[in-house]
């Protein structure tokens, strides 16, 4: 197989060696194509599969499946060469998207609340029950161009890119990068756990005080701190507790799993709770209410916060009132 044309400048250092048994993609078109996007992997990046890394980093490919197909077509190079989707990405390598590589995503005309926006980043409120990204028609990523102003910076991305994820059913603050340098900087902040996040939840059962949950998840350490705000009698759950949560590690569904392991699943959690723990409309009562980051350009600390959705407090008030009404009816019968 012919070697791909080298980039016009020496690529960043990095290990681009591949096992001899790895089958590389075959490009149908041998005509040299222009490199439209280059991304240098940060030095402290944990090695990961190329297709998974691209899906989590480059907005042009919002899902692992789309990245996998592009790599197999030869639309994505590493250090100027065709590679396999299974290649382990390492710090210093240069990922290149070729001219025909950018898939045509359709902008989703859906309004989202923008809490903050400048030339480098934005912070928005993710609605519940809509995934951040992926191979779906309705995603937050697809809606971003309709809600954000294009950045005038020279490394502006054609499509704004969320730098972290929220579970599909979870609502709340979501940080979005508008330039490649901002995406790399913010991604590193999340990777090294320098970002501080706060969530509000309504959990089943009677919880008190504050504390730490450190049950391992998936064989890895996991830590969540919590502080109970209010505990009330509930007509449908016996007791429910409103509390704030702060994850200090980033395990999958960490907050939901930690509370479920302590027999206090979040109301509306159909995955880790039980049928009797549902809320009206089966909505998960979990919201990302606070995030603290360093601005990727000025390095100034920035704190963002929103109140929990009004529907959360309305549901809590309804449950408390319904319980009181039921108690009154029982005592008079």
Digit-coded pLDDT (tens) for 132-167? 987 788 999 999 999 999 999 988 888 898 999 899
Please name which of 62, 44, 42 lies closest in space to residue 52, comparing C-alpha atoms.
62
pLDDT for the residue 58: 78
- Helix 64-73 / helix 50-57 crossing angle, nearest 10 deg: 120
- The residues that are catalytic are 167
Residues 6 or more apart whose CB falls under 8 angstroms from that of 263 comprise 205
Lookup: tokens for 101: 């590589």
pLDDT for the residue 104: 59
Interatomic CA distance for residues 115 and 95, integer angstroms? 32
Interatomic CA distance for residues 65 and 124, integer angstroms? 26
pLDDT for the residue 5: 47
pLDDT for the residue 294: 98
pLDDT for the residue 136: 81
pTM over 0.85: no
pLDDT for the residue 18: 40
Mean pLDDT of the chain: 84
Please name which of 193, 206, 192, 204 lies closest in space to residue 246, comparing C-alpha atoms.
193
Q: Report helix, strand or coil for 246.
A: strand
Lookup: tokens for 322: 């319904």
Interatomic CA distance for residues 174 and 132, integer angstroms? 9
Q: Mean pLDDT of residues grouped by 10 in the chain (333 residues)?
A: 45 41 45 76 86 82 83 91 93 84 73 98 96 86 95 89 92 95 88 94 96 96 97 88 96 96 93 72 90 97 97 88 48 39
Question: Could you give all domains of the chain from N- to C-terminal order, each with its CATH number?
Answer: 1-100 (3.10.290.10), 113-192 (3.30.2350.10), 196-288+313-323 (3.30.2350.10)
What are the two backbone dihedrals, phi and then psi, of residue 137, each rounded to the nearest 5 degrees? -70, -40
Give the ranges where the chain is alpha helix by DSSP (H). Answer: 50-57, 64-73, 140-143, 180-191, 254-261, 310-332
């Amino acid at each position: 197989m012919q070697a791909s044309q080298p980039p016009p400048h020496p690529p960043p250092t990095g290990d681009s060696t591949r096992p001899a048994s790895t089958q590389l993609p075959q490009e149908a078109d041998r005509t040299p194509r222009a490199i439209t996007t280059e991304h240098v992997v940060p030095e402290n990046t944990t090695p990961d599969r190329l297709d998974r890394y691209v899906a989590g980093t480059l907005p042009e490919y919002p899902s692992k499946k789309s990245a996998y197909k592009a790599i197999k077509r030869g639309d994505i190079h590493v250090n100027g060469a065709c590679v396999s989707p299974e290649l382990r990405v390492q710090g210093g390598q240069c990922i290149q998207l070729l001219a025909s590589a950018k898939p045509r995503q359709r902008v989703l005309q859906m309004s989202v609340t923008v809490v903050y926006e400048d030339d480098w980043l934005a912070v928005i409120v993710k609605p519940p029950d809509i995934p951040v990204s992926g191979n779906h028609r309705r995603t937050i990523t697809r809606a971003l161009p309709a809600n954000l102003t294009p950045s005038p910076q020279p490394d502006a991305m054609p499509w704004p890119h969320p730098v972290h994820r929220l579970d599909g059913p979870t609502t709340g603050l979501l940080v979005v990068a508008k330039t490649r340098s901002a995406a790399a900087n913010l991604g590193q902040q999340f990777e090294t756990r320098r970002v501080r996040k706060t969530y509000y939840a309504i959990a089943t059962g009677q919880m008190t005080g504050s504390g730490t949950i450190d049950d391992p998840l998936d064989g890895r350490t996991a830590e969540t701190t919590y502080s109970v705000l209010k505990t009330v009698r509930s007509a449908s759950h016996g007791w429910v507790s409103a509390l704030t949560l702060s994850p200090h590690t980033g395990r999958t569904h960490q907050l939901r799993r930690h509370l479920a392991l302590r027999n206090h699943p979040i109301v509306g959690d159909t995955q880790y709770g039980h049928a009797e723990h549902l809320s009206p409309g089966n909505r998960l009562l979990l919201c990302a209410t606070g995030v603290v980051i360093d601005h990727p350009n000025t390095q100034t600390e920035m704190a963002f916060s929103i109140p929990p959705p009004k529907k959360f407090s309305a549901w809590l008030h309804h449950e408390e009132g319904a319980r009181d009404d039921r108690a009154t009816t029982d005592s008079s019968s």
